[in-house]
Structure 1
Amino acid sequence: MPKSKWSPVSIFRGRKMVNKAKSFYLRILRFRATYGILEMVKRSYVLMFGLDPYKNAVKAYSDDGNAVIFSKIYDSNLWKTKESRSGRGSTIVYTESIRHAMPSILRTYSIKYFLDAPCGDFNWMRAVDFPDDCVYFGVDIVQKMIESNRTKYGESDKRRFGVLDITCDPIPRVDMVFCRDCLFHLSLEDIFKFLENFAKSESKFLMTSTHKNRDGFPNSDIKSGDFRVIDLFSEPFCLTSDVLARVDDYQWPDPEREMCVWSREAVNTALKHNGRLIEAAV
């Protein structure tokens, strides 16, 4: 009897391709519904002929290190938002849901020391109602952005800004590390480096962004600086779905995403699942 040409591996690969195609198709529908057919055709033309300044910058500078590529994005405003150089996701309107949810989360988990990493240009975070006894630390890899924040917003005993690369610089021990709209711009290896950094810091909680995976998309790799959707609950990350808190944090036509809170122990468990031994910082 001849062997079947359909092996479990080939079926799995076939499903992954179908899921990718389905996810891409849904993104096209979302874009068309919001911006119209003419804008969709224009966007397709830009991508097809390599005319996107953001994508071109990633190709040109990503091998020079994260500080270089993200500084280039900031300097040239490649995310093309007038209100915030950190992109559309950092506008006051876009962040309405997360801004309203944060005060309750900070009080529920008694957050006294809060690390915003990366803090971007502080455009929307300045509107958050922090508890009176909470100290804010904003860090970012872009030196010019930190200098601008210090000049524009000032510093005090309750607010500090500093330069820090979350993938390689030691993260200070705080009650919560808040990492919004960042990991989907990092390579898989850089995401793991950040998670390891968080665990080593012995900070209590991590609150970060993850996309809702209704389409079954796989976690693909990119060069840091680029973008793709990520699902932190799926391979290779495998963070527990038993989160401490979750907040929807997106606007149409963007892919659905949320911010979730995990304990350090939960992050450690996921890292050990991937064979990454974590030693606390001394």
Structure 2
Amino acid sequence: MRAVLMQRLKQRLKPYTPAWLLKYHHDRTIRKDRALYQGKALREVFSHVYETGGWGVAKDHSGFYSGSSSHDPAIVDTYVEAVTAYLGSLPYRPDVVDLGCGDFNVGSRIRPACARYVACDVVEAVIQSNRTRFFSSLDVDFRCLDITSEPWPRGDVVFLRQVLDHLDNARIAGVLASLTPYKSLILTEYLPLAPDFPPNLDKPIGPGLRIWGAIPSGIVLTEPPFELKALSTRILCEVQDNVGVIRTIAYELPRQT
């Protein structure tokens, strides 16, 4: 309870906190993650993040909150408009697999643009909450899934919205190996503003982001060590703040022969 109250206080103070202090706080968080989560399973790690309000606390006290980037209208509205337009431009109504769907505040607004929608998260309690809140009104197949070790549902388009940055590089490489059956990947990541930032620096699993590391970094799948091969790459939208840019990219993936 104390951790949740602290997160509520941090949420209120965040808009007034200077960037250097935010960076100092997040850098400490990454170091703490390394000690706290070392050797633990992904499900255990992110269950703890939600239980302690690691990404903040829901205003409606539902108990699950996937962070400000899933609720800030400036971020969410831009993303929903761009992704909905992209899906509408496809020559088919896509079956979508949303990996790391979180509290589903964003996915619930994308749902009408899709045919079948499978929304997955590693935390069972989050999935159960989503089933209660959204299933009857949105017809979504909610599944508890560890995307690093369990088979993925079938579909046309995969969403990975600010998910990979919470994983270490070895797990990210494993995730990319599972992309081959899909036609498109829509990836969203938070990247440093500096154009020459070093991409894909490794970090431990946990709620922290690479942009807050001692050397600011971010996930760029087409750069080493991942070097994703895509038929085409298209930036769908960007939302910038005083630290970085949240960028959403659509990758057309080569079909497996």
User: Would you say same fold, with TM above 0.5?
Assistant: yes
* Aligned residue among 29, 50, 65 for 1:74: 50
Give the drift of 1:192.
0.8
- Give the superposed CA RMSD: 2.9
Give the drift of 1:111.
3.7
| Distance across 2 between alignment mates of 1:156 and 1:47 | 37
| Distance across 2 between alignment mates of 1:158 and 1:47 | 37
Aligned to 1:148, what secondary structure does the other structure show? helix
Matched, 1:143 2:124: yes
Aligned to 2:142, what secondary structure does the other structure show? strand
| Distance across 2 between alignment mates of 1:102 and 1:47 | 29
Q: Which residue of 1 aligns with 2:170?
A: 189
Query: Which segment drifts farther, 206-215 or 64-73?
Result: 206-215
Give the drift of 1:144.
0.5
Between Structure 1 and Structure 2, which shows a larger proportion of strand residues?
2
C-alpha contact (below 8 Å) 2:99/2:159 kept by paired residues: yes
* Aligned residue among 64, 77, 82 for 2:40: 64
C-alpha contact (below 8 Å) 1:58/1:69 kept by paired residues: no
Give the drift of 1:156.
6.9
C-alpha contact (below 8 Å) 1:177/1:206 kept by paired residues: yes
Give the drift of 1:108.
1.7
C-alpha contact (below 8 Å) 2:108/2:138 kept by paired residues: no
Matched, 1:91 2:71: yes
- Residue segments in structure 1 that go unaligned for 5+ positions in a row: 1-33, 269-279
* Cα gap change, 1:43 to 1:160, in 2 (>3 Å): same
Aligned length: 227
* Aligned residue among 261, 271, 282 for 2:250: 261
C-alpha contact (below 8 Å) 1:111/1:176 kept by paired residues: no
| Distance across 2 between alignment mates of 1:86 and 1:42 | 18
Q: Give the alignment's TM-score, normalised by structure 2.
A: 0.76
Matched, 1:123 2:105: yes
* Cα gap change, 1:101 to 1:43, in 2 (>3 Å): closer
Matched, 1:204 2:183: yes
- Residue segments in structure 2 that go unaligned for 5+ positions in a row: 1-14, 211-217
C-alpha contact (below 8 Å) 2:237/2:247 kept by paired residues: yes
Give the drift of 1:125.
2.1
Aligned to 1:107, what secondary structure does the other structure show? helix
Q: Give the alignment's TM-score, normalised by structure 1.
A: 0.70
| Aligned amino acid, residue 205 of structure 2 | S
| Distance across 2 between alignment mates of 1:223 and 1:141 | 17
Q: Deviations over 1:142-196 (max 9, x none)?
A: 1010001011112478411010111111112201011110111111111111111
Give the drift of 1:208.
1.0
| Distance across 2 between alignment mates of 1:62 and 1:259 | 30
* Cα gap change, 1:42 to 1:92, in 2 (>3 Å): closer
Q: Which residue of 1 aligns with 2:8?
A: none
| Distance across 2 between alignment mates of 1:59 and 1:242 | 40
C-alpha contact (below 8 Å) 1:250/1:256 kept by paired residues: yes
Q: Deviations over 1:121-143 (max 9, x none)?
A: 01122223623x61211100010
